[in-house]
Amino acid sequence: MRPRSIITAVVTVLIIAGAVYYFYGYRNRDISSDFNAAREYTEDAGTTAAVKSALALNKQLASLDIHVSSANNVETKDNNVTLTGQVPIDNVRRAAEEIVRGTKGVATVVNNLKVDPKVQAPSDER
């Protein structure tokens, strides 16, 4: 290696080390808590995706406007899922809840789906 590329590599390593020290040392942050937060977020995102997929794969529910969220208006929090929206009959409301309960990763389900007989599935005609 040439001396110039060695110096560039050393300076780069020092800048990265300084940034890590500043971010985690000076600001009193803990890298393990950041990793745990990232892990929890990805688990919740995976659960949300699984729930949305399960609902979309059900022919009775796929065309209805069912939303997946949590109490904090994020999609899923700590694997607790909240369903909102409107469905035409109570049987559909119960079916949606059972599908979500049976989805891997779901801890609890809060079913806030409203029954409104006027609700119709969107037509596929275009």
Question: What predicted TM-score, i.e. pTM, was given to this entire model?
Answer: 0.64
pLDDT digits (tens, 9 = 90+) for 50-95: 999 999 999 989 888 899 875 455 556 677 899 999 999 999 999 9
> Does residue 58 form part of some domain?
yes
Would you say residue 41 has pLDDT above 90?
no
> Does residue 71 form part of some domain?
yes
Residue 32 sits in which domain range?
3-115
> Does residue 121 form part of some domain?
no
> Does residue 123 form part of some domain?
no
The band of 126, judged by pLDDT with boundaries at 50, 70 and 90, is very low
Number of structural domains the chain divides into: 1
> Does residue 125 form part of some domain?
no
Q: How far apart are CA 118 and CA 33, in angstroms?
A: 48
Q: How far apart are CA 43 and CA 60, in angstroms?
A: 27
pLDDT digits (tens, 9 = 90+) for 58-68: 998 988 889 98
Place of tokens 């609902």: 55
> Does residue 124 form part of some domain?
no
